[in-house]
Amino acid sequence: MPMRKITLRNGTELPVLGMGTWNVGDCTERRAEEIASLRAGIEAGLRVIDTAEMYGGGRSETLVGEAIDGVREEVFLVTKVLPSNASFEGVRRACRNSLQRLGTDWLDLYLLHWRGGVPLAETVRGMESLRADGVIRDWGVSNFDVDDMEELEELGGFCAANQILYNLEYRGVEFDLLDRDRVAGVVNMAYSPLGQGGELLHHPVLDGIAARHETSAGAATAAQIALAWVLRRGDVLAIPKAGTMSHLRENLLATELELTESDLAALDGAFPPPRRKTRLAMI
């Protein structure tokens, strides 16, 4: 089954599944497997690799740079700037440092990691200057709620994406943010789509649904059900961590699954959708 695509405002088509790198690069013993996993993902068509200057104090970017060496043109590379570096000059300096660690001359997408004390107008000015210089193709934000996105829109510019926490345990963005961004042409990127700490993946409802599904490699897993649920919308790009070959294969197989109406109803019962506006969750 061909993987579904999502389209950015500039017309770039991307697979709805990418690869996250939080905590990747922190352990010397795992380095070779982490690089191999990212390379295998690229070969399998997972173009999007997401990292950040914050991850491991730059170690994640350095590892990603090694993983994409020689295949940079095949990768849609995303990294993020800390809010403490989000001034006009700070954004430009942080971007240069990220480029050096990543071993590349350009970024496909550069995100403000979360909103801090620097005025948004100054950050946007810095992002637009980087885009004008050709060192970033697009820019966006992360962990922005509806009011933040509305303020950003008033400033103009070309915000391409909003990276947010979205999984079965954190569905608050379904109340308004997902639809708001979709109408505005902003792609939502879901980080931690499998939850945190593994508790979500031990839920009996997920196990029960997994028992009714199969992939080309055999019985489905709870993790694959959780990921298929995030991907069900078609307008969200998920970036689960891909630090091992086994996790990468499991993530890829999740794209084969189609959840039924009864599956979705069972998940709604176990993880109710929001009925009111809630504060945007972030980790």
Q: Kindly report the average pLDDT of the chain as a whole number.
A: 96
How far is 107 from 76, CA to CA, in rounded Å? 8
**What's the confidence (pLDDT) of residue 2?**
77
Cross-strand bridge partners of residue 190:
164, 238
**pTM (2 decimals)?**
0.97
Q: What is the pLDDT of residues 105-140, one digit of tens each?
A: 999 999 999 999 999 999 999 999 999 999 999 999
**What 3 state SS string does the chain have?**
CCCCEEECCCCCEEECECEECCCCCCCHHHHHHHHHHHHHHHHCCCCEEECCCCHHHHHHHHHHHHHCCCCHHHCEEEEEECHHHCCHHHHHHHHHHHHHHHCCCCECEEEECCCCCCCHHHHHHHHHHHHHHCCECCEEEECCCHHHHHHHHHCCCCEEEEEEECECCECHHHCCHHHHHHHHCCEEEEECCCCCCCCHHHCHHHHHHHCCCEECCEECCHHHHHHHHHHCCCCEEECCECCCHHHHHHHHHHCCCCCCHHHHHHHHHHCCCCCCCCCCCCC
| 1: pLDDT strictly greater than 80 | no
Alpha carbon distance 142, 12 (integer Å)? 19
pLDDT digits over 195-236, tens only? 987 889 999 999 999 999 999 999 999 999 999 999 999 999
pLDDT tens-digit profile of 143-154? 999 999 999 999
Q: Does the annotation count 110 as an active-site position?
A: no
* Region label for 234, one of left (φ > 0), alpha (ψ between -120 and 50) or beta (otherwise): left
Round to whole Å and give the CA distance between 264 and 271: 10
On whether 113 is known to bind a ligand per the annotation, the reply is yes
Catalytic hit among 55, 166, 170, 191:
55
Residue 242: pLDDT band by 50, 70, 90 thresholds?
confident
Token pair recorded at residue 191: 């980080």
Percent of the chain with pLDDT over 90: 95
CATH architecture of the domain with range 13-196+234-245: Alpha-Beta Barrel (3.20)
In this model, does residue 54 exceed pLDDT 80? yes
